[in-house]
Chains A and B, each alone.
Chain A
Amino acid sequence: DAGITQSPRHKVTETGTPVTLRCHQTENHRYMYWYRQDPGHGLRLIHYSYGVKDTDKGEVSDGYSVSRSKTEDFLLTLESATSSQTSVYFCAISEAQGNEQYFGPGTRLTVT
């Protein structure tokens, strides 16, 4: 299994609070991605990174920001959580374009 972890694995938070999810890899892969999974929508890309401090928006980036200060860590921040951000969040890594993306175990976030 690829060395990719996510923390926390579960979180319940209140509307309006900031939340940061962490993705950590030990594979030294260049590319990192944050997806959210919702029933009927599959997985949708939130943000991605193609190197340290190189990030860009995905399909559903509103309300989210990211940072990557080290190769191994990719942080996803919800500045002010809303109920619509209740979801399962997956981090993925990839060594090169066209290569397999390896997925983390996911973080289940509930915003009440």
Chain B
Amino acid sequence: AQSVTQLDSQVPVFEEAPVELRCNYSSSVSVYLFWYVQYPNQGLQLLLKYLSGSTLVESINGFEAEFNKSQTSFHLRKPSVHISDTAEYFCAVSDAGGTSYGKLTFGQGTILTVHP
């Protein structure tokens, strides 16, 4: 079985400050890792994912995450946040094996609030 722990339920920051949202996972097999974002009253949207290869992955809107296998972490970072980044962020893991059917296990979510 897999599990995901997001270490902070809420993260308040000021606009243009850097931010890190922490995610740790537990799994006995190889995994795929994802970050999803949910804006108020909307469904989830993929922010970025790690499948294989380079351990540093980036999104088109300035977020990045680094896969650290030894620490079983996939922390999300942004060097300078905007008001529009205010949302809830979910870390998720999927078994990379052939019979997982792409099922996702989600963390509890981190609410990022960017203040002016």
Contacts and interface: CB of A to CB of B under 8 A. Distances in A.
Interface of A: 31, 33, 35, 40-45, 48, 50, 56, 58-59, 90, 92, 94, 96-101, 103-106
Given A100-B49, A101-B46, A103-B45, A43 B106 contact: yes
Given A33-B102, A42-B6, 11 more contacts: A31-B101, A31-B102, A42-B107, A59-B105, A90-B43, A96-B102, A98-B51, A98-B102, A100-B46, A101-B104, A103-B45
A42 B34 CA distance: 14
Interface string B74-113: 0000000000000000100010101011111111110000
A105 B105 CA distance: 19
B101 A48 contact: yes
A96 B96 CA distance: 12
A45 B103 contact: yes
A56 B101 CA distance: 10
Contact of B44 (A31, A40, A43, A98): A43
B43 A106 contact: yes
Nearest to B98: A97
Ranked nearest first, the 4 interchain pairs of A and B with the lowest CB-CB distance are A103-B43, A42-B106, A97-B102, A103-B44
A88 to B, nearest CB: 10
Interface string B27-57: 0000010101000001111100101000000
Q: Which of A40, A42, A97, A103 is the most central at the interface, judged by chain B CB atoms within 10 Å of its CB?
A: A42
A92 B36 CA distance: 13
A37 to B, nearest CB: 9
Given A42-B109, A103-B45, A33 B32 contact: no
A62 B9 CA distance: 27
Given A97-B94, A98-B32, A98-B94, A45 B104 contact: yes
A99 B103 CA distance: 11
